[in-house]
Amino acid sequence: MRCPFCGHEETQVVETRESDEGDVIRRRRRCMGCDKRFTTYERAEIEYPSIVKKDGRRTEFDPAKLRASMTLALRKRPVSAEALDQAVSRIETSLLHSGEREVSSTRVGEWVMRELKRLDKVAYIRFASVYRSFDDVSEFMNAVRETSRRGR
């Protein structure tokens, strides 16, 4: 590891600690050239499949965007941040386990709807109304009835 202060190529690891979650390793290092200390972090680099939009565009998967859309659907609903984190994590796991290099946004949307239905029926209906582009009240009512039947 090159020293960020003097550029010397030899550094010594003085201390190593794992984060509480176990997903990051923090290392304190000392430069053998200038004797200054600095911190580095190691974390696993995960490659998600590309997301193929309905119009054919391809984009990187963005967990923050996924969380934001789910948070919007869950706005003012009694769902904990921890429950949301777990739902997002399940969707990320589904993406990674798909084994594909590209996944359609439609498939991701279906995973989101499944998770929202599990978390909160109102949030599910909110998301579905935008995701499925309901044109009139009857489509909205059909979704509500479907949710009510399956929720029994």
The residue ranges of every structural domain in the chain are 11-43, 50-150
Using CA atoms, how far apart are residues 4 and 72, in angstroms rounded to an integer? 41
**Where in the chain does DSSP place strands (E)?**
11-18, 24-31, 37-43, 50-52, 58-59, 102-104
16-51 per-position pLDDT tens digit: 999 777 778 999 999 999 999 999 999 887 889 999
Query: pLDDT, tens digit, for every residue of 109-139?
Result: 999 999 999 999 889 888 887 766 666 667 6
Does the structure show a pLDDT above 60 at 151? no
Query: Which helix (H) or strand (E) covers residue 122, if one does?
Result: helix 121-131
Using CA of residue 115, residue 118, residue 123, residue 126, what is the dihedral sign?
Answer: positive
Cβ atoms of residues 24 and 39 within 8 Å: no
Residues forming a β-bridge with 59: 51
The C-alpha angle 60, 61, 65, rounded to 5 degrees, equals: 115
- What predicted TM-score, i.e. pTM, was given to this entire model? 0.63
Query: Under DSSP, is residue 68 helix (H, G, I), strand (E, B) or coil?
Result: helix
